[in-house]
Amino acid sequence: MQTLPEVPLLDHNALGAFLARRFGNASEKLSDIPHPKELKDALKGAKRLATAIRNGERIAVVGDYDVDGVTSTAIVKRFFNLIGCPLITAIPNRFTDGYGVSPGILERIEADVIFTVDNGINAFAAAEVCRSRGIDLIITDHHTPSDTLPDACAIINPKQHDCPYPFKEICGAQVAWLLMGLLKQEMNLSIDMRQFFPFLALAVIADVMPLVGFNRAIVKTGLEMMQRSSLPPFVMIRDFLNRSSVSSEDIAFQIAPRINSAGRLEDASIALEFLLADNVQKAFEQFELLTALNTLRKETEAQTTEEALLQVSPEDTLIVVAGEHWNEGVVGIVASRLVNRFQKPAIVLSIHNGIAKGSGRSIGNVDLYSLIKSQEALLDKFGGHKMAAGLSMPSEHVEAFRRQINEAARTVNPADFIPNSDIIGELEHHMINFELLELLERFEPYGEGNPRPRFLLREAEVVSIKLFGSDQSHSRLELRPSRVQPKTLELVAFRRTLECPENKTMSCSYTVNRNEWNGRVSLQLMLERVF
């Protein structure tokens, strides 16, 4: 039995004071965004691009197949369109090219200058190819660098140990946007860089960047601009959501998975065409494709998760599972499902032609990147950051990797494996009303670093649990907080099938959300964790 956290009983005033304290001393003004010239090599990269534009040289950008990479590519392509300069765009195919700029993808590009967005910090082979062909390579990335760096013309990454940029936790799209801001300055152009905020909001949320400091300011402004933007992709997003406003949760759970599905199952160019659509009809067509792919992704993910569960060793501290011909595009999501279910870090690998390639997700304060790095002798490639990473190895190394990374994981402080529940208090039944919802919405956007407040429901009577959805994969719970009053609360748990406990009581955490359908607004309580 897990120990329930000791939390206070809150009223609206106490809750408002708590949320205000979260960011009481933090600067969230757009004017406080650090100048891009503070990024190491950014000015050098901007000057090289400016020279290439003035001289009519061929310029290419190589992106990535996730939301951040596709959005980064869309931002720089739209920027180059605004200044009337041609730009070759290339996004690797996950299945035929692999991750990031590579010798293979360079064979298809004829350019004098190539710059990357959201990738490249470990592109040693590609840098050598560029050097041998006389191509200037500019790397922009935000992933954790290794001890050595590629031989490139410029490397722009705030996580470099000698980069003075004060805010390290930014996504690839932000790095690309900052570089375009310097390019604008270098060429003395009149372009309002704020027009890209809706794209930046999309990338920051999807890449789970902390919503603090100027990240929070960009997302807040970007979502507001998205709500009134006339750009076809955002018109389509609003029409699909059919809500009075676009929230960070809408992006995280409805839009980002659709954009991601293209790169996961087919080719990210489908998503790029959506973000670059110049008319609503084109945006509609691409969004329909993305929605169909997302449906297929859910089916593939469910099947792979089912197979992965059969391999989980309960005694392992860190889960490692591998399957022949699992779809590479869903292994990261499956890893997240395993983390949520077992409350342990998880690595899921797909084996094709003797190579095991996959993704890992962490929990709590466990540094997954460092654990994977400790086994680099077994690996072909790896990269990522503390909470998420990608890796590949010969399939015959998988068992040794599982054994040795578990040995390393057992040396980690057990406290680091405890997820931060962020439960801030209990609410009496009558406090859960529209006044509460308005108070909570005052402190949006919520996300990484500013989680939506979680509340504790202690030893409630379970009246009923019903499954719903086309595949019966979601649960609707009716709970009675107190046996002395007849009123009940309805909670929803998506992608979780729950059963009634034997003693018919449940303690859990939950969030309070807005549910909007056909113009009608209601409260929706979302189940988070069962104790």
Give the CATH number of the domain where residue 466 resides.
2.40.50.460
In a domain, 249, yes or no: yes
In a domain, 87, yes or no: yes
Residues 335 and 211 in one domain: no
Distances (CA, A) of 493 to 54, 174, 389, 402, 525: 56, 33, 27, 32, 9
Residues 385 and 426 in one domain: no
Residues 251 and 388 in one domain: no
pLDDT score for 275: 99
Last residue of a domain, one of 368, 383, 417: 417
pLDDT score for 500: 87
pLDDT score for 262: 97
Helix (H), strand (E) counts: the chain:
17, 17
Is the confidence at residue 27, as pLDDT, over 60?
Answer: no
pLDDT score for 232: 98
Residues 397 and 465 in one domain: no
pLDDT score for 403: 97
pLDDT score for 340: 86
pTM of the model: 0.89
Please name which of 246, 220, 214, 248 lies closest in space to residue 233, comparing C-alpha atoms. Answer: 246
Instruction: Give the pLDDT confidence of 442-485 residue by residue, as tens digits.
Output: 999 999 888 899 999 999 999 999 999 888 889 999 999 976 66
Residues 266 and 405 in one domain: no
In a domain, 76, yes or no: yes
Tell me the average pLDDT across 104-125.
96
Instruction: Give the pLDDT confidence of 297-322 residue by residue, as tens digits.
Output: 999 999 999 999 999 999 999 999 99
Angle of CA points 452, 457, 460, to nearest 5°: 150
Residues 99 and 18 in one domain: no
Residues 369 and 262 in one domain: no
pLDDT score for 32: 83
**For residues 179 and 262, what is the distance between their CA atoms, to the nearest angstrom?**
26
In a domain, 174, yes or no: yes
Residues 206 and 342 in one domain: no
In a domain, 306, yes or no: no
Tell me the average pLDDT across 180-190.
97
Instruction: Give the pLDDT confidence of 219-264 residue by residue, as tens digits.
Output: 999 999 999 999 999 999 999 999 889 999 999 999 999 999 999 9
pLDDT score for 216: 93
Distance from CA of residue 3 to its chain's centroid? Answer: 31
What DSSP letter does each residue of 439-485 carry, written as one string? HHHTTPPPBTTBPPPEEEEEEEEEEEEEEESTTS-EEEEEEES-TTS
pLDDT score for 161: 94
Instruction: Give SS3 for 133.
Output: helix
Tell me the average pLDDT across 380-405.
94
Is the confidence at residue 282, as pLDDT, over 80?
Answer: yes
Query: Where residue 169 sits, what CATH number does that domain have?
Result: 3.90.1640.30
Last residue of a domain, one of 292, 321, 350: 292
In a domain, 299, yes or no: no
Eight-state DSSP code of residue 279? S
Last residue of a domain, one of 264, 292, 320: 292
Six token digits for residue 254:
């409805």
Please name which of 37, 52, 101, 34 lies closest in space to residue 72, comparing C-alpha atoms. Answer: 101
In a domain, 1, yes or no: no
pLDDT score for 181: 98
Residue 25: pLDDT band by 50, 70, 90 thresholds?
A: low
Query: Where residue 359 sits, what CATH number does that domain have?
Result: 3.10.310.30
In a domain, 301, yes or no: no
Q: Are 39 and 178 in contact (CB under 8 A)?
A: yes
Residues 19 and 56 in one domain: no
Residues 139 and 264 in one domain: yes
pLDDT score for 23: 66
Return the percentage of the chain with pLDDT > 70, whole number.
98
Distance from CA of residue 496 to its chain's centroid? Answer: 21
Residue count of the chain: 531
Tell me the average pLDDT across 28-34.
85
Q: Which structural domain, as residue segments, surrounds residue 382?
A: 311-417
Distances (CA, A) of 394 to 324, 357, 398, 406: 13, 9, 7, 18
Residue 24: pLDDT band by 50, 70, 90 thresholds?
A: low
Residues 214 and 344 in one domain: no
Q: How many structural domains is the chain composed of?
A: 3
Distances (CA, A) of 530 to 134, 171, 459: 58, 32, 11
Average pLDDT, the chain: 94
Q: Count of alpha carbons within 13 Å of 525, Cβ hemisphere only? A: 24
Eight-state DSSP code of residue 364? T
Residues 53 and 115 in one domain: yes
The one-letter amino acid at 182: L
